[in-house]
Amino acid sequence: MNVSLQQQRDDRARQDERDATPPFARFIDVQKSYDGVELVVKGFNLDVHQGEFVTLLGPSGSGKTTCLMMMAGFETPTHGQILLKGEPINDLPPHKRGIGMVFQNYALFPHMSVTENLAFPLEVRRLSKAETKRKVERALAMVRLNDFGDRRPAQLSGGQQQRVALARALVFEPELVLMDEPLGALDKNLREEMQYEIKRIHADLGVSMIYVTHDQTEALTMSDRIAVFNDGIVQQLAAPETLYEAPENAFVANFIGENNRLYGEVTETIGNTCQVRLDSGETVLAKPVACGGIGSRTTISLRPERVGLVLNGDSTAFDNRFRAEVREVIYLGDHLRTRVSVCGNEEFILKTPNAQGQPSLRPGQSVDIGWSSSDCRALDA
Amino acid sequence: MSGSPASPLTTADGVPLKVSLRRAVRRSKLKAFLLVSPLLLFLVVAFVMPIFEMLWRSVDNPEVSTHLSRTVDALEGWGRETLPGEEAYAALAEDLREGQQARNLGLLSSRLNYEKAGMRSTITRTARSLGTLEPPYKEALIEANANWGDLDTWKLIERESTPLTLSYYLAAVDRQLTPDGEIVRAPESQRLHVNLFWRTLWMSLVITGLTLLLGYPVAFLLASLPLRYSNLLMILVLLPFWTSLLVRTTTWIAILQSQGVLNDMMVAIGVIADEARWQMIHNKTGTIVAMTHILLPFMILPLYSVMKTIPPSYMRAARSLGGRPFLCFRRVYFPLTIPGIAAGGILVFILSIGYYITPALVGGQSGRFITNYIAYHMQTSLNWGLAAAIASILLFVVVVFYLVFNRLIGVDKVKLG
Ligand SMILES: Nc1ncnc2c1ncn2[C@@H]1O[C@H](COP(=O)(O)OP(=O)(O)OP(=O)(O)O)[C@@H](O)[C@H]1O
Ligand SMILES: [Mg+2]
């Protein structure tokens, strides 16, 4: 009786735990320095939930690989903790972590056939021959390479190698898979195909994934959440839409998607908008996001597709309106990219749909353009 | 089909494409050949020709047929059952007389002496008494030296009258021919080459094994340390190359001899008694220690060049897949270094079986290699035919090892440096 009561209580506790969904993997205030002089990762915090696809996105040298390597156990954090299923794993050697990993260069063992590569993680776990064979076949089927089991990695194309690497990282059913720019070496078409493939597998298996890339499109299309990395710090951690629509600082705004920038000084704030006097003298209404109070410098960020042409001077949709001079027009089929000079910015870009009724622009022509203050975010300088 | 073989492709002016191509390529081929020709010439003179000379010498057998030409002629049709007739003895006397005048009986007597002990003195003595020799020569010569009355002597002369002989090779493998032409083992006391061959081979194997054992970790360090340290280590590995071989070898004498550094230290710290100093030089130990040291870089460099190309991500991948460190090494890293092991192994082994100076200096009697006997036959016993035969066998062994290696590993897979 007593035992079953205890068990019941345990079960309930476990249920509660699951409800609260503690993060599956956590970085808590992790710092890393290779040389004792410079911090490559400065206070990294990240929670990855069960089944989530989290991407680390950042420019080259920002410490993405380093974070992944700390998770996998190949580098030790100089400070902070890494938890896996609530347990600190700082002192756990890599082979005991049970984390699948896909390397940028695939790291398929060249002296083993595809089947042997896939069987390796199962053999070291001492699975029976039959079990190994079954799992290997299933993994090969998952990446659609059933007929390639006997080949050596060198006899496969880049995309096929990539799939084998993916299958190998998944064949022993890890709960967390790390991928370090797994598509970096593939051409564009193959990349897109593989992005889809990885997403499909992720959805099928429900594993948690931490994915590293410096390709923003890839990050935007694949991730549940993206951690934008720069300089060893997470600049913003959010869902793709949020990152694109509501970047919190100038770095994120620039790094994700195309972006027009105007520099100036905050002169007034009225409710949800603020007035910024640009360095070139004009005044712009913007949405204060990360700017300081009155008198502080700010960078105004504006997506090219949110800028419109003011036709016949009658548009009331835009509370910011300026006269611009067309510098260059690039025809892109479904839309036009127009580079104009406005507010002292020579590189101001407009994206206008190739729709009926749009005037055709010529370089040298003057046009009225405008945008809404809610689309135009005043960020840090 | 349009491209039928009946109408070969031609250039615009009707010259067949192949001819035109050959013409275009010929000039550049000629130029390339002229550029390499000095080296080619040097190789032929300094390398190819000596090897053929050596191979020729190991079978060349001119002595009997030139210096005893009349005797050989007279022996034609001889039944080999009884001593030859007067005619042959007369021819022999004539030949010896001529040889003595030309002062070239030495070559002949040494040659016959290799095959039958005592022939040198037989010939010198007979030559000395030639002045008083009177027909009938048969009785007179047998009188002068009993060997001429021995059937075996005549069989020997007849056998060795061929321009080519295998007897040097037989001697090199401790065999000899009986007077009746059967191959038998040499008497116990004269058997030494086969043992030497085996000793050379297995000591070379031991040395190769030791260099692998010592070199593998060093090469691994070299390949995995940060550049700053690995450069320093590389200099240390290469340092021996910049020191004379003799210096390195004699340094080992200073270290290993019974009054040497190592023994002194062992005595000083009380590991061994003063009277029981270790004998580590002028024996097998000395040869193995010194040669392992000297050949170590030849193992490290090929290993290093292979290890350097193995990305660290392989080991990391293996670890992340759940392999314990040693298992990952055994299943992933080690197999990938096999071309390096093979290259280093074959290099050290081949260098080792042909090594001369170190075993000569520190090998004493028991640590000597077959090469030391080649030198002995070249310089001391002056039996160049035997020296050439031993050297040819050594060459053959090396070629066989190389072919086996090529078959198993593939020479094209080997990277040096
Ligand atoms: N083993 C190492 N020793 C010393 N410094 C290192 C080491 N590995 C990385 N670094 C440094 O740490 C910084 C971050 O490197 P990391 O590899 O994490 O960047 P990354 O974000 O993955 O870049 P990329 O997109 O180019 O792969 C870089 O400045 C790099 O020079
Ligand atoms: Mg990286």
Shortest CA distance to A333 belongs to which of A357, A347, A349, A351?
Answer: A351
Instruction: Pick the closest to residue A99 from A119, A85, A111 (CA basis).
Output: A85
Reference A279, options A252, A258, A298; nearest CA is: A298
User: For chain B, which residues score pLDDT lower than 70?
Assistant: 1-8, 411-417
Spatial separation of the C-alpha atoms in residues A154 and A117, rounded to whole Å: 13
Give the model confidence (pLDDT) of A233-287 as tens digits. 889 999 999 998 888 888 998 888 888 999 999 998 888 889 899 998 888 989 8
Q: Do the Cβ atoms of B313 and A72 come within 8 Å?
A: no
User: Is the per-residue pLDDT at A18 higher than 60?
Assistant: no
B contacts of A95 (beta carbons < 8 Å)? 319-325, 328
Which chain B residues have a beta carbon less than 8 Å from that of A103?
313, 316-317
Say how far apart CA A274 and CA A290 lie, in whole Å.
12
Touching check for B62 and chain A: CB below 8 Å?
A: no
Question: Residue A301 pairs with which residues in a beta bridge?
Answer: A261, A377
What pLDDT sits at residue B59? 94
- For the segment A83-141, what is each residue's pLDDT rounded down to a tens digit? 998 889 988 999 999 999 999 888 999 999 999 999 999 999 999 999 999 999 999 99
Structure tokens at A153: 């990695």
A169 SS3 class:
helix
Q: Is A182 on the interface with B (CB under 8 A)?
A: no
Residue A99: list chain B partners with CB under 8 A. Answer: 320
Instruction: Tell me the CA–centroid distance for residue B328 and ligand 2, in Å.
Output: 23
Q: Helix B334-353 crosses helix B384-408 at what angle (to 10 degrees)? A: 170
Any idea which ligand is nearest the CA of A214?
Answer: 1
Q: How confident is the model at residue A19 (pLDDT cuts 50, 70, 90)?
A: very low
Do A73 and B322 lie within an 8 Å CB cutoff? no
Mean pLDDT value across chain A: 87
Of A259, A261, A296, residue with least CA distance to A276? A296
- Mapping DSSP onto H, E and C, the string for chain B reads CCCCCCCCCECCCCCEHHHHHHHHHHHHHHHHHHHHHHHHHHHHHHHHHHHHHHHHHCCECCHHHHHCHHHHHHCCCCCCCCCCCHHHHHHHHHHHHHHHHHCCHHHHHHHHHHHCCCHHHHHHHHHHHHHHCCCCHHHHHHHHCHHHHCHHHHHHHHHCCCCECCHHHHHHCCEEECCCCCEEECCHHHCCHHHHHHHHHHHHHHHHHHHHHHHHHHHHHHHHCCHHHHHHHHHHHHHHHHCCHHHHHHHHHHHHCCCCHHHHHHHHCCCCCHHHCCCCCCCHHHHHHHHHHHHHHHHHHHHHHHHHCCCHHHHHHHHHCCCCHHHHHHHHHHHHHHHHHHHHHHHHHHHHHCCCHHHHHHCCCCCCCHHHHHHHHHHCCCCHHHHHHHHHHHHHHHHHHHHHHHHHCCHHHCCCC
Beta carbons within 8 Å of A57's beta carbon, 6+ residues apart: A64, A213, A214, A216, A219, A226, A227, A228, A229, A255, A256
Contact A42, A233 (CB under 8 A): yes
Beta strands across the sheet bearing A308-309 = A308-309, A366-371, A320-331, A335-342, A345-353
Tell me if chain A has a CB within 8 Å of the CB of B322.
yes
From CA B249, how far away is CA B25, in angstroms rounded? 52
Strand partners, A367: A324
Distance from C-alpha of B293 to C-alpha of B255, rounded to nearest angstrom: 13
Place of tokens 């007389």: B97
pLDDT of residue B117: 87
Interior CA angle at B215 toward B211 and B221, to 5°? Answer: 175
Q: What angle do CA A367, A372, A378 make, to 5 degrees?
A: 110
The C-alpha atoms of residue B282 and residue B365 are separated, in whole angstroms, by 7
- Does residue A100 have its Cβ closer than 6 Å to ligand 1? no
Tokens 């085996």, located at residue: B198
Task: Give yes or no for residue A5 having a pLDDT over 70.
Answer: no
Query: How does pLDDT run across A29-40, given as a tens digit for each residue?
Result: 999 999 889 999
CA gap A260, A369 in Å, rounded: 14
Tell me which residue has tokens 């030495």. Answer: B106
Lookup: tokens for B96: 């010896």
Letter for the amino acid at A330?
I
Using alpha carbons, list the distances in angstroms from residue B378 to B1, B299, B390.
Answer: 70, 31, 11
Tokens representing B188?
């116990």
Of the partner residues B313, B327, B336, the one whose CB lies closest to the CB of residue A111: B336
**What residue's CA is closest to ligand 1, atom 6?**
A34
Task: Please list, residue by residue across A109-121, b when 16 or more beta carbons sit within 10 angstroms of its beta carbon and e when fewer do.
Answer: bebbbbbbbbbbb
Q: How far apart are the C-alpha atoms of A70 and A81, rounded to whole Å?
A: 10
**Residue A76 DSSP label:** -
Roughly what angle, to the nearest 10 degrees, separates helices B284-308 and B227-238? 150
Taking alpha carbons only, the member of A206, A125, A121 closest to residue A167 is A121
Q: Using CA atoms, how far apart are residues A345 and A147, in angstroms rounded to an integer? A: 57
C-alpha–C-alpha distance, residues A110 and A152, integer Å: 7
Amino acid found at A364: G
Q: Say if strands A208-213 and A176-180 run parallel, antiparallel, or are unpaired.
A: parallel
- Rounded-to-integer distance, Cα B283 and Cα B364, Å: 5
Which ligand 1 atom sits closest to the C-alpha of A58? 21
**Which residues touch B309 (CB under 8 Å, ≥6 apart)?**
B415
Per-residue buried b or exposed e for B349-367, using 16+ beta carbons within 10 Å of the residue's own CB: bbbbbbbeebbbbbbbeeb
The answer, yes or no, to whether residue A11 has pLDDT greater than 60, is no
A310 compared with B327, residue with greater pLDDT? B327
Does the predicted interface ipTM exceed a cut of 0.85? no
Task: Return the C-alpha torsion angle B29, B32, B34, B36, nearest 10.
Answer: -140
Residue with tokens 């086996």: B404
Tokens representing residue B316 in the block: 């990391």
Can you tell me the distance from the alpha carbon of B247 to that of B249, in angstroms, rounded to the nearest whole number? Answer: 5
CA distance A256 to A260: 12
Q: How far is CA A178 from CA A81, A158, A216, B173, in A?
A: 18, 19, 18, 65
Of B21, B29, B149, nearest to B89 (Cα)?
B149
Cβ A214 under 6 angstroms from ligand 1 = yes
Whole-number Cα distances in Å, B223 to A83, A111, A177, A290, B338: 33, 20, 29, 49, 15
Residue A196 Cβ < 6 Å to ligand 1:
no
Q: Is the omega angle on the peptide bond into residue B136 within 30 degrees of 0, that is, cis?
A: yes
Q: What is the pLDDT of residues A293-307, one digit of tens each?
A: 888 899 999 999 888
pTM for the full predicted model: 0.79
Q: Which pLDDT score is estimated for A12?
A: 53
Nearest ligand 1 atom, CA A67: 18
Q: Would you call B336 and A110 a contact, using CB atoms and an 8 Å cutoff? A: yes
Rounded Cα distance between B80 and A120, Å, is 75
For residue A40, the ligand closest to its alpha carbon is 1
Contact between A145 and A114 under an 8 Å Cβ cutoff? The reply is yes
- Return the closest-CA partner of residue B264 out of B278, B285, B249, B283: B278
| First-last CA distance in chain B | 52
Written as six digits, the tokens of A143 are 């990446």
Determine the Cα–Cα distance for residues A316 and B210; give it in Å rounded to an integer.
88
Q: Alpha-carbon distance A227 to A243, whole Å? A: 9
Q: Which amino acid is at A272?
A: N
Q: Determine what percent of chain A falls in helix, strand and coil, rounding each to the nearest 5.
A: 30, 35, 35
Alpha-carbon distance A210 to A68, whole Å?
8
Selected for mutation to probe chain B from A69, A101, A178 (highest B CB count within 10 Å) is: A101
Q: Is A34 on the interface with B (CB under 8 A)?
A: no
Identify whether the C-beta of residue A102 lies closer than 8 Å to the C-beta of residue A177.
Answer: yes
- SS3 label, residue A16: helix
